[in-house]
């Protein structure tokens, strides 16, 4: 199984050709080519064309290609899909999801376009963004609404406006919401992505925010400026001692599995299935592939 890191997701305005042609070179694991908030209504058409051209013509290497379309309450979402899906992005990101109907509507349209363009049906993933209290309250249903949903995130600005709360430095005001969304994502076996850190000059704050996100179980975090990418990647990278211990665990697990032992010790600590799964997760955060079938009892 090819392991693809998703720690950092860089937002790129879809109507900025200079940024589009260079965005895959900036070190982000994924780029989010934005047709929504970063693009003014009168520039939607040109953004769609540019993003489609970029997907077709530019080399993104192993950088994930995510396109954020406009939400289903707008007049643009369908045109977004009609132009973008044939260019085969990895993921469509759907903002302001309110109900399973929103997701199913978009899923059907993507499937139709995949069939029409000779693309494997279901090949394009879907990320959904929850930006209202109602959506968060319905999160368990939303993440299970269709198999295309591979990731979930929070649109924090809209959510806070909807909830009538203000941002604080510590971010405690969204702790419950984030935990709830992460839990729902984990239960559905999909990824959960943390929102942007808006103070682009505060790298210490960004690092702390990223480490917290990693600790809470988020798979990645969005970046609004290229200077944030390296900090986010660092924040998701496991501490050296934890990484080295995980590597020891995996090495010992391979031996134990071959010898038919389910429980063993590494560096004086007992190791069993859950510990091995944790070690696999740590290696994944460092971008080191590990096949669970080779190590789990």
> Which residues lie near other proteins (CB under 8 A)?
21-22, 24-27, 57-59, 61, 225-227, 230
Tell me whether residue 22 or residue 117 sits nearer to other proteins (CB atom): 22
Q: How many CB atoms lie within 10 A of CB 240?
A: 9
Whose Cβ is closer to other proteins: residue 106's or residue 223's? 223
Helix (H) or strand (E) holding 248, with range, is helix 240-259
CB of 109 to other proteins, least distance (A): 30
Taking the least distance from each CB to other proteins, the nearer of 122 and 287 is 287
Q: How far is the CB of 88 from other proteins (least distance, A)?
A: 17
In the complex, minimum distance from the CB of residue 25 to other proteins, in angstroms, rounded to a whole number:
4
Give, as one character, the DSSP assignment of residue 75.
Answer: S
Residue with tokens 């299935």: 273
DSSP 29: S
Question: How many residues can be counted in the chain?
Answer: 297
Paired sense of beta strands 8-13 and 149-154, if any: unpaired
What SS3 class is residue 68? Answer: strand
Closest separation in Å from C-beta 231 to other proteins: 13
Nearest to 15 by CA among 56, 54, 44: 44
Smaller CB separation from other proteins, 56 or 269: 56
Judge contact between 70 and 77, C-beta under 8 A: yes
Closest CA to 20 of 68, 53, 64, 63: 53
Q: Measured between alpha carbons, how far is residue 137 from residues 32, 42, 195 in Å?
A: 26, 34, 18
Q: Between 176 and 244, whose beta carbon lies closer to other proteins?
A: 244
* Minimal distance, residue 24 CB to other proteins, in Å: 8
Q: How far is the CB of 18 from other proteins (least distance, A)?
A: 9
Q: Is the CB of 59 or the CB of 168 nearer to other proteins?
A: 59
């Amino acid at each position: 199984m090819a392991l693809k890191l998703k720690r950092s997701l860089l937002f790129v305005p879809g109507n900025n050709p200079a940024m589009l042609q260079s965005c895959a070179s900036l070190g982000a694991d994924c780029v989010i080519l934005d047709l929504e908030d970063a693009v003014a209504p009168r520039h939607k058409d040109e953004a769609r064309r540019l993003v489609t051209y970029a997907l077709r013509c530019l080399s993104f290497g192993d950088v994930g290609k995510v396109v954020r379309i406009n939400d289903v309450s707008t007049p643009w979402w369908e045109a977004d899909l009609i132009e973008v899906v044939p260019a085969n992005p990895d993921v469509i990101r759907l903002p302001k999801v309110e109900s399973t109907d929103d997701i199913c509507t978009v899923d059907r349209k993507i499937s139709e376009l995949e069939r029409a363009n000779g693309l494997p049906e279901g090949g394009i993933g879907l990320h959904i963004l929850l930006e209202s209290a109602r959506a968060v309250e319905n999160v368990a249903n939303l993440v299970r609404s269709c198999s295309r949903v591979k990731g979930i995130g929070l649109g924090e600005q809209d959510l806070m406006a909807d909830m009538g709360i203000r941002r604080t430095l510590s971010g405690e005001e969204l702790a419950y919401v984030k935990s709830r969304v992460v839990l729902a994502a984990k239960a559905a076996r999909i990824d959960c992505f943390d929102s942007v850190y808006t103070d682009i000059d505060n790298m210490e704050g960004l690092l702390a925010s990223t480490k917290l996100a990693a600790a809470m179980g988020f798979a990645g975090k969005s970046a609004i400026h290229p200077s944030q990418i390296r900090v986010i990647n660092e924040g998701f990278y496991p501490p050296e001692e934890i990484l080295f211990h995980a590597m020891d665990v995996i090495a010992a697990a391979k031996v134990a599995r071959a010898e038919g032992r389910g429980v063993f010790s590494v560096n004086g600590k007992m190791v069993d299935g859950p510990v091995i799964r944790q070690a696999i997760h740590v290696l994944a955060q460092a971008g080191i592939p590990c096949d669970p079938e080779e190590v789990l009892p």
